[in-house]
Amino acid sequence: MKFKSALQGLLSEDELRHVRRYEVIGDIAIVSIPDEIENRKAEIADVIRKQNKSIKTVLQRLGGAEGVERVHRYEILYGDKTETLYRENGCIFHVDPTKVYVSPRMNAERTRLLNLAKDGEGILCAFAGIGLFPVVLARHLNASVYAVEISSVACEFMERNIKANSVSDKIRVFCGDAREVLPEICEKFDRVIMPTPKGEVSERFRFLKLGMDYLQEHGTMHYYTFASESEIKEWRKRGLNIRNCGSYAPSVYRIVIDVTGNFREFDFDKL
């Protein structure tokens, strides 16, 4: 039974208009509840638990991700533990959404990159978080992966996830700001992955230009950012290879731009 249908009879028709889908990470359900139905959160949490018997904790997301560490604020509606095990692409991940950023919705992108990457590649992943991209690639490929993450808490989770998936010999973790860490690495890579956080529009491509400095001449960069529908259309006209990775907000989408080394001279500042 669909979530909204399960709430019929408990919420009025007007209240049902404000109901949003919830997502599941391991045995934790995460739901956003608009102000219009804030007073019905107990009933909403109860229906979520009844729909999915494996759920041990229900979290209400409060606002957007905050700070450089991109962590959301939450209220616990049911349960008491916030750490769980999340499985994806044959890998297992320790995660606590109240402490670190995690996006299961990017599962399809991690699968796509896994199908594109080749054995023997040198791969750089900046903004690596808890290690989803690095671990998935290292688990299935004979590749050398460098992972850069600014959050010390996320780095701790990443180290745990690297050990849990037996890929310690394939991944090197650098905990720090990419702008400071990358110049110390002094290597170029066959593939650069940058799932950047949402920031100011004027600074949207600053890390792309940084990442290009570490890309082999015939390598490929996968640069994740955010754009409106009109921007996506215009950028495609300019020759950029863009994939839509899902809706972020009304008329705003998470996208990935796949670029090769021959885009070094492309003027992204004019986009």
Q: Give 220-254 pLDDT, tens digit per residue.
A: 999 999 999 999 999 999 889 999 998 887 788 99
pLDDT digits (tens, 9 = 90+) for 148-178: 999 999 999 999 999 999 999 999 999 999 9
User: Kind and range of the H or E element at 62?
Assistant: strand 57-66
With pLDDT > 90 as the criterion, what percentage of the chain qualifies? 66
Is the torsion defined by CA of 78, 79, 80, 84 positive or negative? negative
Residue 239's CB: how many other CB atoms inside 10 A? 9
Is it the case that residue 44 has pLDDT exceeding 80? Answer: yes
Q: What is the pLDDT of residue 248?
A: 80
Tokens representing 57? 């904790």
Between the CA atoms of 25, 116, 227 and 182, what dihedral angle is there, to the nearest 10 degrees? 90
CATH 3.30.300.110 domain extents, the chain: 3-82
CATH 3.40.50.150 location in the chain: 99-270
d(Cα 67, Cα 73) in Å, to the nearest integer? 11
Bridge partners for 247 per DSSP? 253
Q: Which residue has the higher pLDDT, 252 or 69?
A: 252
CATH of domain 3-82: 3.30.300.110
- pTM attached to this predicted model: 0.91
pLDDT of residue 241: 92
The answer to whether 59 and 80 have CB atoms below 8 angstroms apart is no
Residue 91: burial class (beta carbons within 10 Å; 0-12, 13-18, 19+): buried
Shortest CA distance to 65 belongs to which of 78, 56, 74? 74
Token pair listed for 250: 């009304």
CA–CA separation, 102 and 106 (whole Å) = 9
Q: Provide the pLDDT for residue 265.
A: 75
The SS3 assignment for 215 reads strand
Q: Which CATH superfamily is domain 99-270 in?
A: Vaccinia Virus protein VP39 (3.40.50.150)
